[in-house]
Amino acid sequence: MRMASSNGRPDMEANARYPRRLSLRQRFYVVEVLAGLGLTARHFFGNMWRHTLRTVFRVKSARGAVTIQYPDERRPYALRLRSLHRLVRREDGSPRCVACMMCETVCPAHCIYIVATEHPNPEIEKMPERFDIDLGKCVFCGYCVEACPEDAIRMDTGILEFSSYSRGGMIYTKEMLLALEPAGKDGVPTSPVPIPPDRQPR
Amino acid sequence: MSGVVGEVLARFGPVAFVMFVVLNLGGLLTWVERKQSAIMQDRIGANRASIFGIRILGLLHPLADAIKMLTKEDFMPARADRLLFKLAPFVSVFFALAAFASIPFGDTITVGGRVIELQAVTLNVGILYVLAMLSLGVYGLMMAGWASANNYALLGGQRAAALMISAEVAIGASLMGIVMVYGSLDMQDIARGQGAPLLPGMFGAWIPAWGIFTQPLAFVLFLTAGIAATKRIPFDTPEGESEIIGYFVEYSGMKFGMFAMADFLETVVIAGMTTALFLGGWQVPYLAAAGFAFPWGATLSLPPLVVTALQVGAFLFKVVVMIWFLMLIRWTLPRFRYDQAMRLGWMGLFPLSILNIVVTGLVILAVRG
């Protein structure tokens, strides 16, 4: 039978992470408690002071909390963030995509589905008749952007909020992807989030 | 104001004031808890509840909570003891509320020739009364634990009883020192006694004889045991969120809300007791019945009504500061394990409070001869 040690636990092997022997100061507890209370009280009064500066004296740089109130406030997104895809347009508004199937081939999640058709301009040869991305499958690896020889697909819209009540609602078609614009400053989306039909307000 | 009407007003005025303040403070504590913990942890805290876009710092959240709890399904386990199950939360809240009755919140006021003590009930055994009410409060938890027909609830109720006994012993024993120093069990007498200067031969009239100066060890012991009596973290073994959920595991809706409310009310009671017994009660330093008399000789006479208002204000201020401190402890310290809480109560607080009684007796003998 093992003897219980002074801190109530059964004797354990010496362990750097859980030292068996506490110092007298730690065992006395009150000093350590006061130190902890001092730390939290310091945070309390410091944050109260900054809140007061901000709300009463309108000092914009004073922040009493690290919270970003997300739907109202967005943190700046990095330029390299991979967000919702968009299809780049030519000057006449048609997709720059030539339906070469590179992205569909490289896609590890098999979420891109392209049906090619003939382009009226013989120098371009092909264009997509359908270009669907199933965002329910997409893993946002960005391989499609890397693979595209025409720079026709990009992931720079800054849109991250897409959701649907059905699997079908997660499929974004060529028309939806063509309508999107690149994100503006700090990654703020400039085009509206395409809302799938099953999320339209009734 | 005379006759029966005056008598009724004189009796019920203080009661109504105490009920108003304590119930409102108890309700407000749900907001204080959220906001203070948030500010301590660099967060914002609950602020989304709004009526027509008005949020007033999240103050509507207690209201939203109340509406939510009142409209939730009031579930009762099939094998529960129907009477005890329904009675338990009421018992819990009742005794938490009743405990505040003998805590004085001001000196006397004279209205229309009638002298009114500013405390809900004038009792010459006030301390015993508060202790009795705090102890009886645990019956609600034991009833809840037993009536739920749930092993975890039973464990919680049993833990609540064990914790309450170990805390009550320490509370009672640590308060004996205060009783010895001020020579009374009446909390109003003790509050008055704390207005006198401490050791006038040594310090002059500079330091008032507050309990925290005459009984510093008892203050720490009482505060620790008092936090245990509120059964909030760090002494939340009856609840044991991370292991057994505790005595109210089967409760839902407003019945659960009443258990939570009882915890907050007990926090107010402990803050009130600490204030009344250790922080000078309603005493403002250097303020006597006629006005301020500063130790450097200056005086400032005030009308009696202003003095009373200052005293009641001082009491409320001290209570609020104590509540803030109790919340600070609750959101700083990790919880004790059950055996640690027992060990602290029986092997730490209890012997120390006995030692405090002995030392206090010796000091009183030496000082008063």
Query: A90 in the Ramachandran plot: left (φ > 0), alpha (ψ -120 to 50) or beta?
Result: beta
Residues of A in contact with B340 (CB under 8 A): 8
- Check CB contact of A51 with chain B, cutoff 8 Å: yes
pLDDT in tens, A120-131: 888 888 999 999
What pLDDT score does B360 carry?
93
What pLDDT score does B287 carry?
85
Q: How confident is residue B200, by pLDDT bands cut at 50, 70 and 90?
A: confident
- Check CB contact of A137 with chain B, cutoff 8 Å: no
Residues 6 or more apart from B329 whose CB is under 8 A from it?
Answer: A33, A37, B227, B234
Residues of A in contact with B40 (CB under 8 A): 40-41, 43-44, 47
Average pLDDT of chain A is 86
pLDDT reading at A189 higher than 50: yes
Residue of A nearest to B43 (CA): A65
Residue of B nearest to A37 (CA): B332
Concatenated DSSP letters for chain A? -PPB-TTSSBP----SSS-SPPPHHHHH-HHHHHHHHHHHHHHHHHHHHHHHHHHTS--TT--S-----TTT--PPPPTT---S-EEPB-TTSSBS-----HHHHH-TT--EEEEEEE-SSTTT-EEEEEEEEETTT-----HHHHH-TT--EE--S-------SSSGGGEE-HHHHHT-----GGG---SPPPPPGGGS--
Domains of chain A: 24-72 (no CATH), 86-199 (3.30.70.3270)
Quote the percentage of chain A above a pLDDT of 90: 48
Between CA B112 and CA B134 the distance in angstroms is: 36
Quote the percentage of chain B above a pLDDT of 90: 47
Asked if B332 and A51 come within 8 Å (Cβ–Cβ), the reply is no
pLDDT reading at B15 higher than 70: yes
Residues of A in contact with B41 (CB under 8 A): 43
- Check CB contact of A45 with chain B, cutoff 8 Å: no
Asked if A43 and B40 come within 8 Å (Cβ–Cβ), the reply is yes
Residue A42 C-alpha, separation from nearest chain B C-alpha, in angstroms: 8
Q: How confident is residue B91, by pLDDT bands cut at 50, 70 and 90?
A: very high
Residue B115's beta-bridge partner residues? B110
pLDDT reading at B286 higher than 90: no
- The tokens describing B172, both together, are 């009672």
Query: What's the whole-number mean pLDDT along residues A140-159?
Result: 93
Looking at A90-104, A106-120, B196-210, which range is the least confident one? B196-210
Q: What's at A175, amino acid-wise?
A: E
The backbone torsions φ and ψ at residue B300, rounded to the nearest 5 degrees and listed phi first, read -145, 105
Average pLDDT of chain B is 89
Q: What SS3 state is found at B58?
A: helix
- Check CB contact of A63 with chain B, cutoff 8 Å: no
Helical segments of chain B, H only: 3-40, 61-71, 82-98, 126-147, 151-182, 187-193, 200-203, 211-214, 216-229, 253-278, 304-330, 338-343, 350-368
pLDDT in tens, B342-360: 999 999 899 999 999 999 9
For chain B, what are the domain ranges? Answer: 3-368
Minimum-distance CB partner of A44 among B36, B44, B337: B36
Q: Compute CA B96 distance to the chain's CA centroid, rounded to the nearest angstrom.
A: 9
Q: At what angle do helices B304-330 and B253-278 cross, to 10 degrees?
A: 120
Q: What's at B141, amino acid-wise?
A: L
Asked if B340 and A8 come within 8 Å (Cβ–Cβ), the reply is yes
What pLDDT score does A53 carry?
92
What pLDDT score does A97 carry?
93
The answer to whether B186 and B171 have CB atoms below 8 angstroms apart is no
Residue B250 C-alpha, separation from nearest chain A C-alpha, in angstroms: 32
pLDDT reading at B369 higher than 80: no
Of B98, B95, B132, which Cα lies nearest the Cα of B18? B98
pLDDT in tens, A83-104: 999 999 999 888 999 999 999 9
The answer to whether B357 and B173 have CB atoms below 8 angstroms apart is yes
Query: What's the whole-number mean pLDDT along residues A6-10?
Result: 51
Between CA A14 and CA A5 the distance in angstroms is: 13
What pLDDT score does A17 carry?
66
Query: What's the whole-number mean pLDDT along residues A20-40?
Result: 85
Minimum-distance CB partner of B43 among A37, A40, A67: A67
Asked if A65 and B43 come within 8 Å (Cβ–Cβ), the reply is yes
Q: Compute CA B217 distance to the chain's CA centroid, rounded to the nearest angstrom.
A: 19
Between CA A102 and CA B69 the distance in angstroms is: 57
Check residues A3 and A181 and name the one with the higher pLDDT.
A181
What pLDDT score does A4 carry?
46
pLDDT reading at A3 higher than 70: no
Q: How confident is residue A1, by pLDDT bands cut at 50, 70 and 90?
A: very low
The answer to whether B79 and B48 have CB atoms below 8 angstroms apart is no
Residues of B in contact with A37 (CB under 8 A): 328-329, 332
pLDDT reading at A14 higher than 80: no
Residue A43 C-alpha, separation from nearest chain B C-alpha, in angstroms: 5
Between CA B139 and CA B132 the distance in angstroms is: 11
- C-alpha angle B34-B36-B42 in degrees, rounded to nearest 5: 100
pLDDT reading at B38 higher than 80: yes
Residues of B in contact with A8 (CB under 8 A): 337, 339-340, 343
Residues of B in contact with A30 (CB under 8 A): 220
Q: How confident is residue B330, by pLDDT bands cut at 50, 70 and 90?
A: very high
What pLDDT score does A37 carry?
94
Query: What's the whole-number mean pLDDT along residues B71-81?
Result: 91
pLDDT reading at B130 higher than 50: yes
What pLDDT score does B299 carry?
85
End-to-end CA separation in angstroms for chain B: 49
Q: Which residues of B298-336 are buried (b: 16+ CB within 10 A; e: fewer)?
A: eeeebeeeebbebbbebbbebbbebbebbbbbbbbbebb
pLDDT reading at A2 higher than 50: no
Between CA B253 and CA B70 the distance in angstroms is: 6
What pLDDT score does B323 carry?
95
Q: How confident is residue A34, by pLDDT bands cut at 50, 70 and 90?
A: very high
Longest dimension (CA), chain B: 72
Quote the percentage of chain B above a pLDDT of 70: 99
What pLDDT score does B12 carry?
85
Of A73, A52, A75, which Cα lies nearest the Cα of A62? A52
Between CA A109 and CA A89 the distance in angstroms is: 25
Residues of B in contact with A47 (CB under 8 A): 39-40, 42
Mutate which of A29, A44, A66 to test chain B, going by most B C-beta atoms within 10 A? A44
Residue of B nearest to A7 (CA): B340
Mutate which of B32, B42, B344 to test chain A, going by most A C-beta atoms within 10 A? B42
Minimum-distance CB partner of B40 among A30, A40, A51: A40
Q: How confident is residue A202, by pLDDT bands cut at 50, 70 and 90?
A: low
DSSP-derived secondary structure letter, B249: T
Query: What's the whole-number mean pLDDT along residues A189-200?
Result: 82
Residues of B in contact with A34 (CB under 8 A): none
What pLDDT score does A107 carry?
95
Mutate which of A33, A39, A40 to test chain B, going by most B C-beta atoms within 10 A? A40
Asked if B42 and A65 come within 8 Å (Cβ–Cβ), the reply is yes
Query: What's the whole-number mean pLDDT along residues A133-161?
Result: 93
Query: What's the whole-number mean pLDDT along residues A180-197?
Result: 85
Query: Model ipTM?
Result: 0.87
Residue B113 C-alpha, separation from nearest chain A C-alpha, in angstroms: 46
Looking at A10-19, A98-107, B111-120, which range is the least confident one? A10-19
Of B97, B44, B88, B67, which Cα lies nearest the Cα of B264? B97
Residue of A nearest to B340 (CA): A8
What pLDDT score does A13 carry?
54
Q: What's at A92, amino acid-wise?
A: D
